[in-house]
A and B are shown apart, each in its own frame.
Chain A
Amino acid sequence: MDRRKFIKRAGAVAGATIAAPYILPTGRLFAASGGGGQLASHVVFVLFAGGVRQQESVLQRYLDDSQGEPYAGNIMYNMLNGAPPTQKIVYGTGLGGINPIPAVLGQTLQQQGTLFPEMRAVSTGHYGGLNSLLQGDTAATQGLNQKPLGPTIFEYLRRHAGTPASKVWFVGNTIGNSVPLLNYSEHPDYGVTYGANFFAPNITFGPLGDEYLANAKVYHPQDQLAPMYEMKYFLDNSFENQGRVLPALGNTEEEKQDIKAFMKEMFNKTQNGTIAHPPVADSGDLRTVGYACELLKWFKPTLTVVNLSAVDGCHSNFTGYLASLHRADHAVGHLWDFIQTQVPEMAGDTVIIAAPECGRNDEPNAIRDANDWYAYDHSDQNSLRVFGMMAGPTVPSNLIVGSENNPVGRVTDMVLTIAEVLGIKSEVINAGQIYPTSSSLFDQM
């Protein structure tokens, strides 16, 4: 090889070495930038909250459309405009729930953003509904105890925007009902490598976590962890795992250290009672949101999805359902308030989106609770009626799109809406995995 050729080749190799680490798995050289189509740097998506009837939420009919008692009113006054009920108060705190929880937000989310009061769900079940919210597809063939079949918004974001694992979070309120399965799909083009980090804080930082996780030994990153990982990698290279994909989310060693430090901090804060819980934190959903707030403050994630589900108690207890719905609203209000007041990096640069995975029946079942009120399951046409709302920068304020007789939007539109906010809308569409008629809610205003 002559000198000129050698210099040419050496230059090419050096260039490739510098550029290669920045080429995304999609083949793009650069991730979608904030200056392009991105509307905000952060999205918080609340899966609200376990099967919500339109009648008691956006329609604000309280007992008027369910129990034959003429008492209407708004029990979600952090999210929705409207006066609360004045009689038969059972959803608050104290004996009999007679003390409504004071509003957290000075201005409702409806005033701050856009409300889609009549949307359509595609499943009357929880898991199918959650999958449709996260996959942007009907998830019609989705098994109950099965990872999502189609890619989730977590995977779209990580693959197409190159977002690090520690910037994409799914916070579950339980490890039951297949909730922990939702952080990534089994789709061959996406999957675990692009999955979201997940915590179920009531377990991870609850009594069980305290017993088995809280006492973790702290190792020195360079002197101890570095050789430990080196030995592990040697062992991994020696092991031929015969084509099995090992479930690894792709957190780097630094990200793992950061997550472990966060866990340590959470155990300390839990012990000291200083978790950023909402003013009232008497339910699993509310405590979950408290930990979600801590997570937002620590990681400033690009995408955070929070699952709430206590409302599902409506299968057997309508009074409890009202209380849970009131608390879910309290949780969302606290979450939004916390972002705006406690996380300066996210304040003014975050879009919050909330939508139920499914509605609830028009007709009650035969179960009556302590107040002699009927309970409701979710299986009929009314269970496909849901609402959606969002607020944040570039979201029109005080706007209502659609009405009870004019449904606008489907739950499958949420993926594209989030994708549009985060600047990967065209990549998600081009992937060809979402429901064919899905469109961003921004395109339906």
Chain B
Amino acid sequence: MMRERIDCDVAIVGGGIVGGSAALFLRQARLSVTLLERDWCGAKASGVNFGGVRRQGRPLEQLPLSQRAHAIWGRLPDLLGTDAEYIRSGHLKLARSEPDLASLIDYRERSQGFGLGLEIVTGEAFRRRWPALGDRAIGGSLCPEDGHANPRLVSPAFARAAAKLGAVVREQTPVDRVEKDGDRFVLLSGDALEVRARFLLNTAGAWSWRVAEAFGEPVPLESLHPNMAVTEPLPRFLDVNIGVEGGGVYGRQVPRGNMVVGGGRGFALDADRARPQRDAVLTLMRDAAELFPQLRHAHVIRCWTGVEGYTPDRNPIIGPSRTTPGLFHAFGFSGAGFQIGPGVGQTLAELVTGGETPMPLEAFSIDRFPPTA
């Protein structure tokens, strides 16, 4: 068989929301791009996550990137040709106790200056504004311009938009070997395809450690599986995306009425696949019904999970390789990559085209972890 060879400026491994958006911004800068995706673009964590488009609650060091992403989300129809069910509904983080409320207030103080516009609502005002929320919460913090979107539609759309602008997007194309030959990266997919590129973006999600390791940068990345469930459609009772301080359960109601809830963890079937876990499902249903009394008579029609890469400090790894010029990493979003993804994609494009970015990335360096054995 003849091996196909593609020469380009930038090769991207992984067609999730980070790789797909990086491809799109690189094409806007007129670089030639080849994106290789083992499965379908946006089929893994980018496409099966909860769908929260949320800045509130992120560690402060993520907020500049998150704000950048926020601006991109605002232009979604222009960029992608679809709104992908993105709604700026607001994100309300609930407090179930005084200490939780204090910690929300503290976060508002600390995040001032980043432009989140957080608003603390408590007591009678809280009850009047969200009467549907039952009495489990004593108050909450609202980020009015946060919201939610349909990840199954958004994430593939980035790669599709990039392809429309001329990126070569190859799905069902695993990268079996990757190395640097002189000033070129060489990627092999079986015997069929060889890609040669000046730059390499490692945006392969939970599988990114493989690429990093190939360049002598082992990372302590762990695969975890957030547990999700969706109910049958119900009358609309909730417009905001809900999180809870201290965690446990989160939920959003989509315009067609289904309530999407998340909490707990699924389990791995193998390195590539995961399933919801029975105790997590049952606990999630109990917690969701407690938080949202409207669900008490509803049915869960589907549960799912995905494979997501987590780092020890729950911050992602973003930025240049410490071993290999021309290689940039962006992975390990630890369950919170969906909203920030397009901002990271744009930042990667900057790093490739100009060698620098105004985004502070120190907290996300790949060599911040102690060496793994």
Answer yes or no: do A and B interact. no
Please list the residues of chain B having a beta carbon within 8 angstroms of any beta carbon in chain A.
none
Please list the residues of chain A having a beta carbon within 8 angstroms of any beta carbon in chain B.
none
